[in-house]
Amino acid sequence: MAESKLLVKGAVPPPLDRELTVVGKPLNRRDAAEKVTGQAKYSGDMKLPGMLYGKTLHCPHPRARIVRIDTSKAEALPGVMAVLSKENTKGWRTSWYEVPELAFPELITHEGIEVAAVAAVDVLTAQKAIELIDVEYEVLTPMLDAEETLKAPPPALIADEEYPGREMFDRKPFVIQRGNLEKGFEEADVIIEETYTTQVSHHGTIQTRACIASWDGENLTVWDAIQGVWNSKLALAKSLDLKPENVRVMVKYLGGGFGSKAWSQRITYYAARLSMITGRPVKMERTRSEEFINHSRRYDTKMYLKMGAKKDGTLTAILQRAIVNTGAAATEENYYCRQIIWHTANLHACPNVYLEQTGVYTNRQTTGPTRSPMNMQAIFALESHMDRMAVELGIDPLDFRMKNYATYQSVGTAEAHLTGDGTTTFAAKIPYSSKILDECMKLATDAIDWKKRSRAPVVSQSPVKRGMGMSSYLVLQGVGLFPYVAEAKVRIKHDGTINLYVGVVDIGGGQKTILGMIAAEELGVSSDAVTVIIGDTQDTPYGPSCHASRCTPEMGPAVLQAAAEAREKLFEHAAILLDTDHKRLGSKDGIIYVKSDPRRSIPFKKACQNMGVDESIVGLGSRAPNPAEPMMATFGAQTVELEVDTETGRVTLLKCVAAQDFGKPINPKLCVSQVYGGIEFGVGFALTEEGLYDPKTGKLLTGNLSEYRMPTPLDFPPVEVYLPECEDPFFAYSAKGAGENTNAPTPAAIRNALYNATGVWFNDLPITPDKIIRAMREGTKGVS
């Protein structure tokens, strides 16, 4: 291993000094057997004795005030054990992703916010009780479209007390600038401007949110469908005025998160409070339509880009103005003020930029983490525009990107999250911890036979045209973001059992397997020898929520350190048995041996037996904060070959190639699965998914999976994946994050391939058949 820059607190583990035997192997997913047999119990599958069922009543208006709410008939219904509303929960706050919200606000700021919750002996009674609740609303005019909203002054009746912090970003432009934009455009031989729009989209997890909360008079136990147990535990404790040690949160299996379940949301708090009132466990589950109208979504955006470049392809200037419809967001935790422009500033090297991003508060649903929350939109616009420029310049899109390859980053992660001052000048040259984007671009284009790509759209008689396109990207890694603590514990017992305790959740990305493999490698045992205790705040140290693709990069070093510490302690026992100094020992494949003379060895288990029967060895690990430099990001490129029927608008994806720089995959099999997942999202976002609202009332019309069109297996393209490797000493075994770094480039690659096929630039997502047909008729560019 390279000299240790590994971000751990305290002593850096000594290097392994041997080839890897576990990390890098395509081992089977640990929890696969339970999942394929149906034995895995997700939160909605669980039942507890005496359990009550909860249901919620939500407001059908995007903007309204509760004039009167009468729950008396519901309370009187036999079988109803408790009812909550604003009447009996004054001042009670829950929290969503750091944002404190009133549990039952009087002022409703988006459709779907709850106005009451009931707990009853069975589901039918709970449903009946909900129907008996009488609510009178004053329906207010909602703010819906971002641009329209910007034209009018902010309405007087904004619910400031419910959404503290909105004033930090609402209608406020945040700017990243460097160099001299005017001069940059003067130097340009070619200048192109264009506007791109992206739609509302949803996470579409197959499991909807479901939880059970159980209060026994002193302790609150919660089973939930969430991506983080520790953040939920602390948030629940705070909201319910409990000591954190009296709150336990568990997630053994999660049916998809993608950010929507970054931590507990309102129904968990309701269930907990109802359980505390009734003394019985309370189960609450969202229906699919509730999941759509109540939950977070991906923000719709409008992005204007103007780029200038010299004849030889050197970028000289980028001007961007992005408007983001943030919905009823609050504080910068719901909305990342610079996330779009950060990507524009950093993907390609351009000395002069002026990039502006404005969030607009409206009465649409808010957001939170959403698989590449604004990266996806940003990359779509940027990489689409790069191709536009390339064509105008007469330069191959691959060559154009290589020409402007960014060897340095100019805006760091921390800066991306600055609030306060709107305009910031970033002229830094921050090196990367690792970056092989050029290799990725080469791989992705070679694999699709890029040379075959015609420079100009092919003129042929057939209405079915073929084309190829590419996109590159970088992604702001979540790593090192608040709250930042990532800890791990390893315990080795006298009988040889090894437990790894990690306070994170396996959200389907294989975190359980990956972290177990890291521990196993460091300890020198097989992966099977390590039992991973995960998804439970009991017995585990603090772990971050598994979003922002942060789990492997943040927990990796902590797990590595914990395992190494435990190993070194065990070596002290082994040293006695092998009659040598513990510093001379190594371990591999379950054997502890003297490095200079490997024949002198003992089995791992034997060393353990040297402990006292009731003794155990504990190793602890903790990740250190990110340094100011270098910049940590992941990169990649994707290429797409497709056919489009210009008369029917039908797009058939023939092949997608993805070349992703994740550093080094701990488990390539699981990494490839992540790439497939990203492409699923990317294809849907590019071609079929759209959240539609009624223009008059602002109500969501696509609250089901028939209208919210996620790719079916017949829409999923053939995919080839390349995972080129590079060293990155800041991460355990050079493993960076993977989850979100796979869906950002797909839409631009598809759109650029469509241009290559048809000669039409599609700048408005999703590119549905109607847009293609209309564009072919109009002969210029695709408009909505």
Partner 1 sequence: MKSGVSSSGSKRHVVLTVNGKKVEADVDDRMTLAELLREELDLTGTKVGCNRGECGSCTIIIDGMAVYSCTTLAVEAAGKEVVTIEGLGSGKELHPLQKAFIEHDALQCGYCTPGMILSVKALLERNPLPTELDIRTAIDGNLCRCGSVPNILEATLEVSRKMAEKKRS
Partner 2 sequence: MLFELPTFEYVDAKDMAEAAFCLHRYGEKAKVIAGATDLLSRMKDRIEGPGLKIPEVLVNIKKIPGMTEITYDKQRGLRIGAAVTLNGLATSDLVRQRFNLLVQAALQVGTTQLRNMGTIGGNVCQRPRCLYFRHPHFVCFKKGGTKCYAAAGEHRYYHAIMKTGKCVTAHPSDMAPVLIALKARAAIAGAEGERVVPFEEFFAGSNSLEETILKPDEFLVAVEVPDQHDKASQLFLKERIRHAADFALSSVAVVAQMSDGVCEEIRVVLGGIAPVPFVAGALAGLMNGRALDERLISEAAEASVREARPLPMNGYKVDLTRALVKRALTLMRNGS
Residues labelled catalytic? 740
Q: Considering only residues 13, 165, 204, 665, which one is a binding residue for partner 1 as defined by CB under 8 A?
A: 204
Q: Considering only residues 162, 522, 661, 680, which one is a binding residue for partner 1 as defined by CB under 8 A?
A: 680
Interface of this chain with partner 1, residues 263 to 302, rule: CB under 8 A = 287-288
Least distance in angstroms from the C-beta of 714 to partner 2: 4
Contact between 240 and 272 under an 8 Å Cβ cutoff? The reply is yes
Is residue 732 close enough to count as binding partner 1 by CB under 8 A? no
Instruction: Indicate the residue among 120 and 479 with the shorter CB distance to partner 2.
Output: 120
Distances (CA, A) of 627 to 143, 412, 430, 540: 41, 11, 11, 26
**Distance (Å, rounded) from C-alpha 474 to C-alpha 578?**
50
**Distance (Å, rounded) from C-alpha 236 to C-alpha 2?**
42
Instruction: Indicate the residue among 192 and 701 with the shorter CB distance to partner 1.
Output: 701
Please spell the DSSP secondary structure of 522-562, one letter per residue.
HHTS-GGGEEEEESBSSS--B---S-TT-IIIIIHHHHHHH
Contact between 236 and 294 under an 8 Å Cβ cutoff? The reply is no
Q: Considering only residues 711, 737, 745, 782, which one is a binding residue for partner 2 as defined by CB under 8 A?
A: 711
Is residue 458 close enough to count as binding partner 1 by CB under 8 A? no
**What residues pair up with 491 in beta bridges, in sequence order?**
499, 618
With CB under 5 to 8 Å by kind, the binding choice for 699 among partner 2, partner 1, none is partner 2
Residue 572 one-letter amino acid: E
Contact between 168 and 332 under an 8 Å Cβ cutoff? The reply is yes
Instruction: Indicate the residue among 201 and 239 with the shorter CB distance to partner 1.
Output: 201
Least distance in angstroms from the C-beta of 77 to partner 2: 16
Q: Looking at 156-164, 486-494, 536-544, 703-711, which segment touches partner 2 (CB under 8 A)?
A: 703-711
Interface of this chain with partner 2, residues 221 to 280, rule: CB under 8 A = none
With CB under 5 to 8 Å by kind, the binding choice for 670 among partner 1, partner 2, none is partner 1
- Backbone phi, then psi, for 215, in 5-degree steps? -110, 130
Instruction: Indicate the residue among 106 and 645 with the shorter CB distance to partner 2.
Output: 645
Instruction: Indicate the residue among 210 and 558 with the shorter CB distance to partner 2.
Output: 210
Which distant-in-sequence residues (6+ apart) come within 8 Å of 430 by Cβ?
408, 409, 410, 412, 629, 630, 631
Is residue 33 close enough to count as binding partner 1 by CB under 8 A? yes
Contact between 594 and 523 under an 8 Å Cβ cutoff? The reply is no
Q: Considering only residues 286, 343, 465, 736, which one is a binding residue for partner 2 as defined by CB under 8 A?
A: 286
With CB under 5 to 8 Å by kind, the binding choice for 205 among partner 2, partner 1, none is partner 1
Interface of this chain with partner 2, residues 108 to 147, rule: CB under 8 A = 123-124, 127
Instruction: Indicate the residue among 91 and 713 with the shorter CB distance to partner 1.
Output: 713
With CB under 5 to 8 Å by kind, the binding choice for 543 among partner 2, partner 1, none is none
**Distance (Å, rounded) from C-alpha 202 to C-alpha 296?**
8
Structure tokens belonging to residue 223: 């089973």
Q: What is the bridge-based pairing of β-strands 114-120 and 93-96?
A: unpaired
**Distance (Å, rounded) from C-alpha 583 to C-alpha 537?**
35
Instruction: Indicate the residue among 36 and 783 with the shorter CB distance to partner 1.
Output: 36
Query: Residue 189, SS3?
Result: coil
Interaction mask 404-443, partner 2, x per CB under 8 A? ----------------------------------------
Instruction: Indicate the residue among 204 and 503 with the shorter CB distance to partner 1.
Output: 204
Count of residues engaged in binding partner 1, rule: CB under 8 A:
65
Count of residues engaged in binding partner 2, rule: CB under 8 A:
40
Least distance in angstroms from the C-beta of 114 to partner 2: 16
Instruction: Indicate the residue among 285 and 333 with the shorter CB distance to partner 2.
Output: 285
Q: Looking at 3-11, 411-419, 420-428, 690-698, which segment touches partner 2 (CB under 8 A)?
A: 690-698
**What residues pair up with 488 in beta bridges, in sequence order?**
502, 621
**Distance (Å, rounded) from C-alpha 215 to C-alpha 39?**
26
Is residue 726 close enough to count as binding partner 1 by CB under 8 A? no
Residue with tokens 């940590």: 632
User: CA 454, 375, 684 angle in degrees (round to 5)?
Assistant: 65
Interface of this chain with partner 1, residues 111 to 130, rule: CB under 8 A = 121-125
With CB under 5 to 8 Å by kind, the binding choice for 33 among partner 2, partner 1, none is partner 1
Please spell the DSSP secondary structure of 27-62, one letter per residue.
PPPTTHHHHHHT----GGG---TT-EEEEEEE-SSS
Is residue 60 close enough to count as binding partner 2 by CB under 8 A? yes
Q: Looking at 3-11, 199-207, 592-600, 604-612, which segment touches partner 1 (CB under 8 A)?
A: 199-207
Q: Considering only residues 141, 245, 647, 718, which one is a binding residue for partner 2 as defined by CB under 8 A?
A: 647
**Distance (Å, rounded) from C-alpha 782 to C-alpha 776?**
8
Contact between 8 and 621 under an 8 Å Cβ cutoff? The reply is yes
**Distance (Å, rounded) from C-alpha 456 to C-alpha 570?**
65
Q: Looking at 18-26, 367-375, 444-452, 701-709, which segment touches partner 2 (CB under 8 A)?
A: 701-709
**Distance (Å, rounded) from C-alpha 576 to C-alpha 566?**
16
Q: Looking at 47-55, 145-153, 186-194, 387-395, which segment touches partner 1 (CB under 8 A)?
A: 47-55
Closest CA to 473 of 367, 381, 399, 391: 381
Q: Considering only residues 13, 62, 165, 255, which one is a binding residue for partner 1 as defined by CB under 8 A?
A: 255
Contact between 340 and 324 under an 8 Å Cβ cutoff? The reply is yes
Please spell the DSSP secondary structure of 706-766, one letter per residue.
TTS-PPPTTTPPPEEEE------TTSGGGB---TTTTTSSHHHHHHHHHHHHHS--B-BSS
Instruction: Indicate the residue among 142 and 255 with the shorter CB distance to partner 1.
Output: 255
With CB under 5 to 8 Å by kind, the binding choice for 702 among partner 2, partner 1, none is partner 2
Instruction: Indicate the residue among 601 and 673 with the shorter CB distance to partner 1.
Output: 673
Q: Considering only residues 702, 734, 743, 752, which one is a binding residue for partner 2 as defined by CB under 8 A?
A: 702
Structure tokens belonging to residue 397: 């899109």
**Distance (Å, rounded) from C-alpha 308 to C-alpha 352?**
10
Q: Looking at 25-33, 238-246, 756-764, 771-779, which segment touches partner 1 (CB under 8 A)?
A: 25-33
With CB under 5 to 8 Å by kind, the binding choice for 673 among partner 1, partner 2, none is partner 1
Beta strands in 328-401 (DSSP E): 353-361
Is residue 510 close enough to count as binding partner 1 by CB under 8 A? yes
With CB under 5 to 8 Å by kind, the binding choice for 774 among partner 1, partner 2, none is partner 2
Least distance in angstroms from the C-beta of 694 to partner 2: 5
Contact between 119 and 278 under an 8 Å Cβ cutoff? The reply is yes
Least distance in angstroms from the C-beta of 375 to partner 2: 25
Contact between 106 and 86 under an 8 Å Cβ cutoff? The reply is yes
With CB under 5 to 8 Å by kind, the binding choice for 701 among partner 2, partner 1, none is partner 2
Instruction: Indicate the residue among 29 and 338 with the shorter CB distance to partner 1.
Output: 29
**Consecutive H or E run containing 135:** strand 134-139
With CB under 5 to 8 Å by kind, the binding choice for 627 among partner 2, partner 1, none is none
Contact between 490 and 618 under an 8 Å Cβ cutoff? The reply is yes
Residues that bind partner 2 (CB under 8 A): 60, 123-124, 127, 208, 285-289, 463, 647-650, 687-688, 692, 694-696, 699, 701-704, 706-707, 709, 711-715, 768-770, 773-774, 777
Binding residues vs partner 1 (CB under 8 A): 28-29, 31-42, 44-45, 47, 51, 53, 79, 121-125, 203-208, 253-258, 287-288, 507-510, 669-670, 672-681, 704-706, 710, 712-714, 716, 718-719
